[in-house]
Structure 1
Amino acid sequence: MTDKTTTTTGKTAKPLASQTLFRGLEVVAAVADGCRTVKDISEKTGITFSTTHRLASALVEVRYLRFEPRKGYRLGSRLVELGFMAYRESAVTTTARPFLEELAAQTLDTVHLAALDEDEGIIYLDKIGGKRAIEVNTRIGGRKPVCSTSVGKALILDDGRAAWKKRFQQEIEKGLAGRLTEDEWLGAMANYAAKGYTFDMDENVDGIRCVGAPVRDASGEIVASISVTSTDAYTDEARMREVIPLVQEVARKISIQLGAGG
């Protein structure tokens, strides 16, 4: 009887193929994280220099990576294509888009759509730029912490105090939590959960303020969140409170389109 990891000829084709696939994905992820040379990628992934060079060269051939002399490796055009395909096929993103545009037009501020990416914090699914003379340093596909962002807080409103405390402590350990103490943050979360909105008062980036609200699907689960983002030059606390019902109404409209009750 042959071993499960081998073929009748003694080859280990499937395990080797899987290992190669996973290593190739690690190489792509390392480049996405800013590694530009084979040496950098090898050190980041722990894959040997020779194997890293072979995988990177193969990925360049199929356009998952590109290589420029003196500049190094970058993500390739095929990944861009796949990213836009995934973006277009996202039910939440396509459903939310016109409502996000409506909210941006109402407020003149930058509007975000985000989802929870488990251990990686939140990921931005969409962004509508505002009309203010400011630059909000976020991008579709970018990631931010949960506890210091309004979209992050909105995504975990249903989790309850024990889960909130655990997540806050995890982000503290990673150096990602904002300026609030644990007790202050937990108190704020209890208030947000009761009222159905969230604030970011300069907690993630100095001078940036946001109002967020959760988006729910047919099961009533929070599947995304939205926010209006501006600077303290345009948005004092009174302005933020004016924006709350606008954000909540748009979140409600998106939720209804996803099957949630009105």
Structure 2
Amino acid sequence: MPHSPSGETVTSRALRVLATFSAQRRELTLSDLARLTGLPLTTTHRLVGELATWGALERDEQGLYRIGLRLWEIAALAPRSVGLREAALPFLEDLYEATHENVHLAVRDGDEALYVERISGRHAVSVVSRVGGRLPLHATGVGLVLLAYADVEVQERVMAGPLRRFTDRTVTSPPELRRLLAEVRRTRTAISPGYLENNALSVAAPVWGPAGDVVAALSIVVPISRAPGPFLPAVTAAARGVSRALGARL
């Protein structure tokens, strides 16, 4: 595989171009891409042209580049997402219809919660989550569930920090987080009142796979003024339904 003078492969440089895009940078000019990647403009032009020809990038009439649908097609084949989303969607829809609040489904990817599905209504509390977005494990309901059932090595790495503070309620003390994770395992639910956003409360529960491990987390996010108790049965029932659909023996 061809290498640049610095030893970087063409594949690495192409991936660097794609990684430049984010929720905050959805459309970029060629000059933006060269500046943000640190690649020469001529190299960026060639890479972007190849990526656009393949469909990984699209160029609009103003000359702005954005992520192409071909990448969405490929990403939709990811096994951790496809079977899980198909199994979970009926239960997520039922939970939404019963509450008309934000409903989330997330998996752990490294030290972050990756959101693979979200259903939200116009009148639901505003949240920062989005499908394909990532949020910290220690500051979200789904993240706390995923962290509570992660390997000890993962838990220790996260607690070694830094634990970012998002609000004055965010748990940033490792001993406090350790106690919170133990409570999540005891109750098989996580309640996150204002940890990520001051106006939102999350109630989450684990989704189990056929091997007896936690493969995802399901949550509902409501205004922080609401009491979590009434939502616990609905969230746990939905999570159990998804688990059974995946073949878990509960």
The one-character-per-residue Cα deviations of 1:222-254 (angstroms, maximum 9, x if unpaired) are: 111000011124x2xxx3022112211211111
Secondary structure class of the residue paired with 2:247: coil
Secondary structure class of the residue paired with 1:22: helix
Q: Please give the residue correspondences for 1:191-210 in structure 2 after superposition, counting only pairs within 5 Å.
A: 191-210=183-202
Residue pair 1:197, 1:248 contacting (<8 A) in 2 also = yes
- Aligned equivalent of 1:19, options 9, 19, 22: 9
1:30 paired residue number: 20
What's the % identity of the aligned pairs?
Answer: 29
- TM-score, normalised to structure 2, is 0.85
1:152 maps onto 2:143 in alignment? yes
Residue pair 1:116, 1:155 contacting (<8 A) in 2 also = yes
1:250 paired residue number: 238
Q: Distance in 2 between matches of 1:130 and 1:69?
A: 33
The one-character-per-residue Cα deviations of 1:7-29 (angstroms, maximum 9, x if unpaired) are: xxxxxxx3459922232122112
Distance 1:218 1:139, change over 3 A: same
- Aligned equivalent of 2:84, options 63, 76, 92: 92
Q: Distance in 1 between matches of 2:119 and 2:166?
A: 26
**Partner amino acid for 2:234?**
L
Residue pair 1:155, 1:225 contacting (<8 A) in 2 also = yes
Q: In terms of mean alpha carbon deviation, does 29-38 or 181-190 score higher? A: 29-38
Q: Distance in 1 between matches of 2:239 and 2:229?
A: 16
- TM-score, normalised to structure 1, is 0.81
Structure 1 residue runs without a partner (length 5+): 1-13
Give the deviation of 1:192 after TM superposition. 1.4
Q: Please give the residue correspondences for 1:93-172 in structure 2 after superposition, counting only pairs within 5 Å.
A: 93-119=85-111, 121-130=112-121, 132-159=123-150, 163-172=154-163
Distance 1:176 1:43, change over 3 A: farther
Q: Distance in 2 between matches of 1:78 and 1:163?
A: 33
Q: Please give the residue correspondences for 1:218-237 in structure 2 after superposition, counting only pairs within 5 Å.
A: 218-233=210-225, 235=226
**Partner amino acid for 1:51?**
T
Distance 1:131 1:27, change over 3 A: closer
**Partner amino acid for 1:240?**
P
**Partner amino acid for 1:73?**
Y
Give the structure with the higher percent helix.
1
Secondary structure class of the residue paired with 1:261: coil
Q: Distance in 2 between matches of 1:64 and 1:224?
A: 28
Distance 1:49 1:170, change over 3 A: farther
Q: How many residues align?
A: 242
Distance 1:37 1:169, change over 3 A: farther
The one-character-per-residue Cα deviations of 1:20-79 (angstroms, maximum 9, x if unpaired) are: 223212211213462723343234333333211210122222322122365622112322
Give the deviation of 1:203 after TM superposition. 0.7
Distance 1:135 1:194, change over 3 A: same
**Cα RMSD (Å):** 2.7
Secondary structure class of the residue paired with 1:188: helix
Give the deviation of 1:200 after TM superposition. 1.3
Secondary structure class of the residue paired with 1:209: strand
Structure 2 residue runs without a partner (length 5+): none
Quick check: which has more Rg, 1 or 2?
Answer: 1
The one-character-per-residue Cα deviations of 1:118-175 (angstroms, maximum 9, x if unpaired) are: 04x1111111124635433322111111100000011122247775343133342xx3
Q: Distance in 2 between matches of 1:61 and 1:77?
A: 12
**Partner amino acid for 1:20?**
V
